[in-house]
Amino acid sequence: MTQTVTALYDTYDSAVSAVNALETSGIPHSDISIVSNNVENRYNKDRSTNAAEDAGKGAGIGAAVGGVGGLLTGLGLLAIPGVGPVVAGGWLVATAAGAATGAVVGAAAGGLVGSLTGAGVPERDAHFYAEGVRRGGTLVTARVDDARASTAREILQRYNAVDPSVRGTAYRETGWTSFDENAPAYTPEQVASERARYIGGTSN
């Protein structure tokens, strides 16, 4: 049996560390995915991971969505309604975008939530994760067999993953109920405010 393990991070650096650790543990690149808010236009093809060793030259979003090459070397830019610009790569992106290829892919936000729930993530959590990316976070997801599930979860938690229960409660206290793809994307100022609220303004 295959399980889906998922974690949200306030910083891109933490998410990249988690991806590297998953790769080092032996989880294939093709079974790992990352979706990171890019409203501040800070992420391009930077911060390589272990996946770089296996990637083809010049891989873009088409390679990422098509599952060719390593995970983060094939990162590409997407525009997700309700979230805004993101940098993403991996199987979750391929599922959300319908495994389309090309230089630019517009993934429906409903596709992101639907991909998570379709992979076994509870709907309440899927809405939380999508909202977390909207507010500036980075989502890491891995498909693993039962034997590796506990190890993968431990790895994800090792790098300061957000607690969905605690953060979800904080969201709901401000009136949030579920992810809305028709809501306006957060501005850079709003993302900075979220970071200041939860992590003291750290931006990476």
pLDDT value for 43: 63
The H or E element containing residue 94 is: helix 91-96
Angle at which helices 164-173 and 123-134 cross, to 10° = 70
Q: Model confidence over 60-109: pLDDT tens digits?
A: 333 333 333 456 556 777 777 778 888 888 888 766 554 333 333 444 44
- Residues 72 and 179: their CA atoms lie apart, in Å, by 26
pLDDT value for 97: 53
The H or E element containing residue 88 is: strand 84-90
Mean pLDDT for 125-147 is 95
Token readout for 26 is 């032996």
Mean pLDDT for 118-136 is 93
The H or E element containing residue 140 is: strand 138-145
119 vs 9, more confident: 9
